[in-house]
Amino acid sequence: MNKEVEVRYLGVKDYKETWDYQEELFQETLNLKIKNRREETNIPTRNYFLFVEHPHVYTLGKSGDAKNLLISEKELEARNATFYKINRGGDITYHGPGQIVGYPILDLDNFFTDIHKYLRLLEEMVILTLAEYGLKAERSPGETGVWLDVGTPFARKICAMGVRASRWVTMHGFALNVNADLGYFDNIIPCGIEGKAVTSLNIELGKKEIDMEEVEKRLLYHFENLFEAELAFS
């Protein structure tokens, strides 16, 4: 079992380019697992955690409804945004500047083979990070992601999640609003859930801007502990 996770900071990167890069790493891991099984070898698989910030983009998961995108192609162009149908779970979401997007590409055979546990630990990583900023974040029953004020009329989502897994290898991940322009969420029904608001860390703390690097470090600290991983930086 290889518990080392290579952390890679991609900076600001186009969504499609990043998706292609994820697919490349994902496929390499799958191919190695298939080879190990066929040839009865035991070459260790690698694990990755990609951090990235995307230009304005809307993505629709394989179980999503395109009607949850509320604007036309022309309006997308006017807002300098793009739209992709992709192969993760979940419905529609938005990525953009001021948002920390994390893509763990893990071989769960190196950790535990339980997708439910995987999602809950990703949520816990975010919940513990937000607690360090004085926020009581939590799960909302039946709705993946991290929320504030669950069970009240003021419930609002601060972190969306959607993953894909094959042969226990994961891709896609989470998007945490840190300094996000929430106006872009007005163009969709976020995650296909009507009547629920979204929020961002800077708004919750009443600040113009939060240090994104600091948030990433705190996320990694909790990820490392929860997954009992060994981080390597490249």
Is position 173 annotated in a ligand binding site? Answer: yes
Is position 92 annotated in a ligand binding site? Answer: yes
Nearest CA-CA partner of 199 in 142, 155, 134: 155
Kindly give the interhelix angle for 115-131 and 212-227, rounded to the nearest 10 degrees: 140
Q: Which of 25, 108, 191, 198 is catalytic?
A: 191
Nearest CA-CA partner of 176 in 157, 197, 196: 157
Question: For residues 154 and 170, what is the distance between their CA atoms, to the nearest angstrom?
Answer: 33
Is position 125 annotated in a ligand binding site? Answer: no
Instruction: State the distance between the two ends of the chain, measured CA to CA, in whole angstroms.
Output: 21
Is position 162 annotated in a ligand binding site? Answer: yes
Is position 11 annotated in a ligand binding site? Answer: no
Is position 206 annotated in a ligand binding site? Answer: no
114, 59 Cβ separation under 8 angstroms: no
Is position 175 annotated in a ligand binding site? Answer: yes
Is 209 exposed, middle or buried (CB count within 10 Å of its CB: 0-12, 13-18, 19+)? exposed
Is position 232 annotated in a ligand binding site? Answer: no
CA distances from 37 to 30, 32, 33, 34, 112 (A): 11, 9, 6, 5, 18
Is position 174 annotated in a ligand binding site? Answer: yes
In the residue annotation, 159 being an active-site residue is answered as: no
Is position 137 annotated in a ligand binding site? Answer: no
Is position 93 annotated in a ligand binding site? Answer: yes
Q: Which tokens go with 78?
A: 């006017």
Is position 88 annotated in a ligand binding site? Answer: yes
Is 194 exposed, middle or buried (CB count within 10 Å of its CB: 0-12, 13-18, 19+)? exposed
Catalytic positions, please? 191
Which residues are documented as binding site for substrate?
88-95, 160-162, 173-175
Which residues are documented as binding site?
88-95, 160-162, 173-175
